[in-house]
Amino acid sequence: MNDSDAPSAEAIREQCIRLLARREHTRRELARKLSQRGFEPADYEPIFDELVAENLLNEARFTEVYVRSRINAGYGPLRIRADLAERGVGGHLVADALDLGDDIWREHCSAAWQRRFGKQPADRREQGQQMRFLANRGFSGDHIRAVVAHV
C-alpha cells in the first residue's frame, strides 16, 4: 500500500478488536491475519502495543485458554507445546501452563485412550495402534506405556 492507500490506525484497531472478540489470539496470529488482509507490519505493530497495554491482547490469557481447550479435547503436553510454538508462544508461559505433574498427564492420557478405544488391545498390532494414537495426541512414551500396560 502506498501512503494515500494506507489504512487508518482506527481501521486496523477495529479489525483487531473484531478478531479478539471471537477468541483470544497471539500477536503472531493477529499479524498473520492482518497481513493476509493487506496490512503492513509497520501499521499494525503499534496497535498491538496499545492492545497489550489495554489488556485486550494477552498471550498469558491465550495460553491458559488454549491449553485448557486442548486438554479437554484429549491432547497431551508434547502436542500442545508444539501447537503453542507454532502460534508464537514459548518460554515460561508454556512451561507454567503445562506444569500439571505426571499423575495428571497420565490421567489425561488414560481418558483419551478410554474415549477412543475403551477396551484392551486384542494383540500386539492393536496395542501398537493404540500407542501410536496416543503418541500422535502428544503424550510421552512414559504416559503411554503406563496407560496401555495397565489396560
Long-range contacts of 21-27 (CB under 8 A, 24+ apart): 23/65, 24/58, 24/61, 24/62, 24/65, 24/66, 25/57, 25/62, 26/59, 26/62, 26/87, 26/88, 26/89, 27/57, 27/59, 27/88
Q: What topology is assigned to 102-149 in CATH? A: Arc Repressor Mutant, subunit A (1.10.10)
Q: Where along the chain do its domains lie?
A: 1-57, 102-149
Question: What pLDDT digit, counting tens, does each position of 78-135 carry?
Answer: 999 999 999 999 899 999 999 999 999 999 999 999 999 988 888 999 999 999 999 9
Are the C-beta atoms of residues 134 and 113 closer than 8 Å to each other? Answer: yes
CATH code for the structural domain at 1-57 = 1.10.10
Question: What pLDDT digit, counting tens, does each position of 30-56 carry?
Answer: 999 999 999 999 999 999 999 999 999
Question: Angle at Cα 14 formed by Cα 10 and Cα 18, nearest 5°?
Answer: 175
Query: What pTM does this model have?
Result: 0.86
Q: Do domains 1-57 and 102-149 have the same CATH topology?
A: yes
- What Cα–Cα distance (Å) separates residue 42 from each residue in 6, 7, 100, 148? 11, 11, 39, 52
